[in-house]
Amino acid sequence: MLLDDLNSLLSTPIVPDIQSNIAYRLASVLVVIYDTSPKIIMTEKPESMKLHAGEISFPGGKFNATDSDLLETALRETSEEIGLHISRDQILGQLDPVKTLNSGFLILPFVCILKEIPPLVSNSEVEKIFHIPLDPLLDTIMKDSDPDHNLIDEMYTFEYQRQIVWGASARILQQIESKIKH
């Protein structure tokens, strides 16, 4: 898969607000894909975090009242968490919002595709930054039928270096997998 192909497959109109009458807290993430051999950036949250400790996720976070919209949230959080500064005009699209099942967030994922990225530096909200080859990651998709989960959304998992990507992050990856592989 080439970056140009990904550009056309993942380009969508950008609507950086969610109209929801459900009592979810709003958040957004940035899906960054880069390199001629496409890689995706994901992070591992520290075990010390109150929410989502130790989980593999995308850079992003909760909407602040000072943010103009959810796109600004994703850009701000990505800059804070991994030191990657992306401008609004570098965003090529967004995916469908996903819910977290336990922490009560509704997350709007935005997509950015870059030829290259500078060295990244994590802050205290990030234990580790992953540069994951995209195609091999997407090939690990598993549909999870765990009866212990409340199935408000379909459950998927992905695997990278014996780490499991699950929950909202996996549902975001599943959307990418669906657009690319089908």
What does the DSSP assignment read for 37-77? TTEEEEEE--TT-SSSTT-EE-SEEE--TTSSSHHHHHHHH
Cβ atoms of residues 47 and 53 within 8 Å: yes
For the entire predicted model, the pTM comes to 0.91
- Tokens 């929410």: give the residue: 51
pLDDT tens for the chain, residues 1 to 182: 688 889 999 999 999 988 766 788 999 999 999 999 999 999 998 877 666 567 899 999 999 999 999 999 999 999 999 999 999 999 999 999 998 877 889 999 999 999 999 999 999 989 999 999 999 999 998 886 555 555 555 788 899 988 889 889 999 999 999 999 87
Residue 43 pairs with which residues in a beta bridge?
A: 57, 129
End-to-end CA distance of the chain: 13
Separation between Cα atoms, residue 36 and residue 95, nearest integer Å = 22
* Domains of the chain, first to last: 3-133 (3.90.79.10)
* Count of beta carbons in the 10 Å neighbourhood of residue 149: 14
